[in-house]
Amino acid sequence: MSTQLRQLLDLINGAAATLDKSCSVNGTRIPDPHEPFDPESEAFRTDPIAENAANIIGAAALQLAALVLPPHLVMFSMIGGQWNCAALRLCLDTHVTEILREAGPEGMHVKDIEAKNGIDASKMARCLRLLSIQHVYREVKPDVFANTRLSTLLDTLKPSKKIIADPEHKHDHTNGFPAFASFLLDEWFKSSAYLLENITDPKTRKSGDPADAPFARSDVHGKSIWEFYGQPEKKVREQRFNIGMKGLLSMLPGNFASEAFDWRSLPKDALVVDVGGGVGMVPMAVAREHSHLKFIIQDRPTVIWKQEIPSALQSGRVKLEAHDFFTTQPQKDASVFILKHILHNWADDYSLTILKHLRAAATPPKTRLICIDAILPYACRNAASSAGGIPGAFTVEAPEPLIANWGLVSGTAFYMDSIMMMACNSQERTIGQFDELFRKAGWKIVAVRHGNATRPLALAAIEAVPIEYERKQPRSRL
């Protein structure tokens, strides 16, 4: 038996024993893959030891498959990803999950599915069978399919008859994940087919303009993603996008805003400005715990005036302000500027403009910049030596012989990076890329905080200070 094969098997066995012990002690369990997804089924992950063990098992199992399967099969599973997406989009947008939920665990024959959504039974069976080998659905009897834990993530929990009759409002008042999956599999998926043409075209290969992204080459006729969703005739798609983004944000750790910065260190009535804050998730979360602070949420007028008005707004502690972050920042007395999921929407040239406007408005020496975004983990080992000693820049590497950044277990960050490249001509960034970008704009990164260091997918909060106002340490007299 090869050394790596034995190492991977030992990792799986050891982690499985750890996970089993944690579940026994904590009264939790590993969910059944055939049961509907329920957030409570993830309770075992609340124990950091259990979550780390689960990550090891997942990473090792995926690497084990790449080791022992024929290389052409591994490669073809990647090449075939487009057909997985096509089949998934068909099932999602023809409401198969809702139909199967109503059928129960015994499932439904594809002819009965056709009677409800009108999709040819034979072609539907082929798509469902393809997805079944990915564990998204399951074939319980020939041509009879049922939901799994994975497919129920696509469930709006609405009656199938209602959404078939009114598909335009399918995603209204839902948790948002089906909407998120739907727009990714629609215009965003189509744009990915144009990546090669986009980055080999002399007119667009070096461009960071959203109007030059692969998205603009698909069926959107040269429009950036923001222009596309701004068209009156795309109102339904814009609504789906907005619901999907709210759903994505709701899946992030709920307490991360509180952990992003030491808010207690700020003096009474210190001003926190959420730049491009949208619905103001960070200020609203922080305001509940830190009543001594004041907040301003900035965004475009079409976004900011759609705010729900909570008690914090009524009391005057939180204010709304129409502002374009590509223009001069009007707030000159902020203790903290927040950029949450902003920079990943923009290429470096645009991000520099945003950061420089904030640097020009910074008040020495108190102003801090908190950038909340994903940090792409390097796949190599010992990458921390290249980070210039930034505290917290790196989480624990996966154990040997796993890929240092946990491989496909951390894949979401890399998929998001690809999404941003296709849709916006933008990117997620490594800590090295953040460091270089911030320095060019006049900021120095002084700390990175992770909501949960055991999670390779954890969000990061990057704290930076104005470079020229850095407090110098006194020289030693020795």
- Structural domain boundaries, residue 303: 252-466
pLDDT at 475: 40
Q: Could you tell me if 51 and 135 lie in one domain?
A: no
Residue 130 included in any domain? yes
- Residue 286 Cα to chain centre, angstroms: 21
Q: What's the pLDDT at 312?
A: 63
Q: Do 311 and 435 have their domain in common?
A: yes
Same domain (yes/no): 155, 208: no
| Residue at 215 is within a domain | yes
Tell me whether residue 178 is in a domain: no
Contacts of residue 177, defined as CB under 8 A and 6 or more positions apart, other chains included, come to: 153, 154, 244, 247, 248, 251
Identify whether residues 309 and 443 lie together within a single domain.
Answer: yes
The Cα–Cα gap between 390 and 220 comes to 42
Residue 201, pLDDT score? 95
Specify the number of domains making up the chain.
4
Q: What angle do CA 253, 256, 262 make, to 5 degrees?
A: 170
Residue pLDDT tens, the chain, 478 long: 579 999 999 999 999 999 999 999 999 999 999 999 998 999 999 999 999 999 999 999 999 999 999 999 999 999 999 999 999 999 999 999 999 999 999 999 999 999 999 999 999 999 999 999 999 999 999 999 999 999 999 999 999 999 999 999 999 999 999 999 999 999 899 999 999 999 999 999 999 999 999 999 886 667 888 889 889 999 999 999 989 988 877 776 666 788 899 999 999 999 999 999 887 778 888 988 899 999 999 998 766 655 554 566 667 788 999 999 999 999 999 999 999 999 999 999 999 999 999 999 998 788 999 999 999 999 998 887 666 688 888 878 899 999 999 998 988 889 999 999 999 999 999 999 999 999 999 999 999 998 654 454 467 999 999 997 445 444 433 3
- Does residue 227 share a domain with residue 94? no
Domain boundary (198, 221, 249) is at: 249
Is residue 292, in this structure, part of any structural domain at all?
yes
Same domain, yes or no, for 131 and 271?
A: no
Residue 476 forms part of a structural domain: no
Do 276 and 242 share a structural domain? no
Q: Which of 187, 283, 170 is nearest to 226 (CA)?
A: 187
Is there a domain that residue 36 lies in? yes
Q: What is the pTM assigned to this prediction?
A: 0.89
CB-based contacts of 156-162 (< 8 A; 24+ apart in sequence): 156/98, 157/98, 157/101, 158/98, 159/98, 159/102, 160/95, 160/98, 160/99, 160/101, 160/102, 160/116, 160/117, 161/116
Active-site residue set: 344
Task: Give the strands of the sheet with 144-147, arranged side by side.
Answer: 108-109, 144-147, 137-141
pLDDT value at position 108?
A: 98
Distance CA 344, CA 376 (A): 11
Residues 318 and 452 both lie in one domain? yes
